[in-house]
Amino acid sequence: MTELESFRQEARDWLEANCPETMRHPYRSEADPCWGGRNCKFQSEDQRLWLQRMSEKGWTVPTWATEYGGGGLNREQNKILKEELGRIHARPALESFGISMLGPALLKFGSEELKKQHLPAIARGHIRWAQGYSEPNAGSDLASLQARADDHGDHFILNGSKVWTSYGDLGDWMFCLVRTEFEASKHEGISFVLFDMATPGVSTRPIKLISGKSPFTETIFEDVRIEKDQVIGELNRGWTVAKYLLTHEREMIAGSGLLRAGTVPISKTAIHTLGTENGMLHNTMLRGDIAQFEIDTRCLELTIERARDEVKAGVSLGAASSMFKYYGTELNKRRNELLMAIGGNESLVWEGSDSQDGQLPKSWLRSKGNSIEGGTSEIQLNIVAKHILGLPG
Ligand SMILES: Cc1cc2nc3c(=O)[nH]c(=O)nc-3n(C[C@H](O)[C@H](O)[C@H](O)COP(=O)(O)OP(=O)(O)OC[C@H]3O[C@@H](n4cnc5c(N)ncnc54)[C@H](O)[C@@H]3O)c2cc1C
């Protein structure tokens, strides 16, 4: 047996023994993912156990070093682990902006003290992170941000506001872009800071979404104290950290269009809902659209896989994350359109048992935001045009 084969066997045995039966099903509603955090309310004992076991094993962040709470796996082992998780349809034990966004930035730019302070807590799901980037007048043009942190010796005092903070009311800590130098050009003078959202002076106001939910907040800062040792990277050079984090955010959002362990393939949903004639869906147009969607999804998966191999070989992902973000979010919108078509009249039911409390139309409406969050499609296309195709700006 090769080393990788024995790793596969080990992972399979461990997952068989440790993944609770109820965690081996796709998410059924938006409430199913576990986001951890200080105020986490587990939906079931199995959900709590699954997070505890996975984090003790280091497999909530399989490729991080063990000293930071990771599993210390290499890329091949991680790929095998993903396949084994997929084989039993295991749900992710933890969804987390800490894992997908802040973690990579901390690993690259954080001091050893900051890594030791924050990474293990992210890996265990103890702290839930919120992202403080956008402001009322700084979205696509993010570098125009105005939240100002004034120097008070060993700390800063922050005033200003952020907007569209996803789950701002549920966040424990925030990673935030603030202006620390006021005379410099707009990309300079920005710092990347971390602070506890329970600090006096931080407040949030809900913003209602088209789906009727309120997963967003406005976040207001009034004389908030930020310790100077919570600056990531160099003071006034936070733009570099911010851009690096965005490439990871975009890669994460691109994944929303892909088939993850927690979702059922569209073709299976269609067969289950509509039935077949001679082993095929009756509606030929829908059949064609689903086939094309599944082919395109596979192509994106393979292209992302190839890009990851290139990253391993030392090529920077850079602007390619914009290409993936653009295409992945368009795919996710198509996936939701197809699910609406498959559901027929049932797709229009906003509340009720069969539609799982309007999960289908709410998820369809939510998918519209995919091509805005993390930078709009227009902005991604601008980046692709300039940095990949080399077209004039
Ligand atoms: C679901 C969701 C979750 C989000 N979560 C967070 C979060 O947690 N934290 C956070 O900080 N922010 C978050 N955001 C905010 C998001 O990052 C911004 O909405 C986004 O960057 C766009 O900024 P804006 O809304 O100010 O739009 P604007 O920048 O005002 O853009 C308006 C329109 O103009 C177009 N446009 C702007 N500039 C150009 C240009 N140069 N070329 C071509 N077209 C252009 C845009 O594409 C868009 O269509 C979230 C947004 C959504 C939808």
> For the segment 33-64, what is each residue's pLDDT rounded down to a tens digit?
999 999 999 999 999 999 999 999 999 999 99
Q: Is the CB of 137 under 6 A from ligand 1?
A: no
Mutation test residue for ligand 1: of 144, 164, 192, 253, the one with most atoms within 8 Å of CB:
164
CB 156 within 8 A of CB 178: yes
Ligand 1 centre distance from Cα of residue 195 (Å): 24
pLDDT of 261: 46
CA 173 to CA 165: how far, in whole Å? 12
Please state the rounded mean pLDDT for residues 17-34: 90
Pick the atom of ligand 1 nearest to 136's CA: 26
Q: Are 145 and 138 in contact (CB under 8 A)?
A: yes
What rounded mean pLDDT belongs to the chain? 92
Spacing, Cα 277 to ligand 1 middle (Å):
45
Mutate to test the pocket of ligand 1, among 100, 133, 140 (most ligand atoms within 8 A of CB): 140
State if residue 100 touches ligand 1 by the CB under 6 angstroms criterion. no
pLDDT value at 266 more than 60? yes
Q: Is the CB of 109 under 6 A from ligand 1?
A: no
Q: Which atom of ligand 1 is nearest to the CA of 140?
A: 29
Give the model confidence (pLDDT) of 343-385 as tens digits: 998 888 887 644 466 788 888 988 898 999 999 999 999 999 9
Cβ–ligand 1 contact at 211 (below 6 Å): no
Residue owning the nearest CA to atom 48 of ligand 1: 376
Say if ligand 1 is within 6 A of residue 165 CB. yes
* CA–centroid distance, residue 370 to ligand 1 (Å): 10
Ligand 1 and 136: CB distance under 6 A: no
Query: Which residues on adjacent β-strands are paired with residue 221?
Result: 160, 202
Distance 161 CA to ligand 1 centre (A): 16
Report the DSSP pairing between strands 173-179 and 129-132: parallel
Return d(Cα 309, Cα 334) in angstroms, integer: 27
Distance CA 381, CA 383 (A): 5
Specify the ligand 1 atom closest to the Cα of 378: 47
Confidence of residue 29 (pLDDT cuts 50, 70, 90): confident
Query: Could you read off the pLDDT of 290-348 as tens digits, one per residue?
Result: 999 999 999 998 998 888 888 777 777 778 889 999 999 999 999 999 999 999 988 88
Whole-model pTM: value is: 0.91
Task: Give the Cα separation of 68 and 262 in Å (integer).
Answer: 26
Nearest protein Cα to ligand 1, atom 38: 140
How many angstroms is it from 379 CA to the middle of ligand 1? 9
Q: What's the pLDDT score for residue 192?
A: 98
276 Cβ inside 6 Å of ligand 1? no
Tell me the three-class secondary structure of the chain, residue by residue: CCHHHHHHHHHHHHHHHHCCHHHCCCCCCCCCCCCCCCCCCCCCHHHHHHHHHHHHHCCCCCCCCHHHCCCCCCHHHHHHHHHHHHHCCCCCCCCCHHHHHHHHHHHHHCCHHHHHHHHHHHHCCCCCEEEECCECCECCCHHHCCCEEEECCCEEEEEEEEEEEECCCCCCEEEEEEECCCCCCCCCCEEEEEEECCCCCEEEEEECCCCCCCCEEEEEEEEEEEEHHHEECCCCEHHHHHHHHHHHHHHHHHHHHCCCCCCCCHHHHHHHHHCCECCECCCHHHHHHHHHHHHHHHHHHHHHHHHHHHHHCCCCCCCHHHHHHHHHHHHHHHHHHHHHHHHHHHHHCCCCCCCCCCHHHHHHHHHHHHHCCCCCHHHHHHHHHHHHCCCCC
End-to-end Cα separation, the chain, in angstroms: 54
Question: d(Cα 53, Cα 69) in Å, to the nearest integer?
Answer: 12
Question: Is the shortest distance between the CB of 166 and ligand 1 below 6 Å?
Answer: yes
The residue among 143, 98, 142, 104 whose CA lies nearest residue 121 is: 98
Pick the residue whose CA is nearest to atom 32 on ligand 1.
Answer: 140
Distance 238 CA to ligand 1 centre (A): 20
Task: Tell me the per-residue pLDDT of 87-105, one tens digit each, with 9 for 90 and over.
Answer: 999 999 999 999 999 999 9
- Centre of ligand 1 to C-alpha 192, Å, is 19
* Tokens describing residue 22: 């109820």
d(CA 50, CA 64) in angstroms, rounded, equals 19
Q: Which amino acid is residue 82, in one-letter code?
A: K
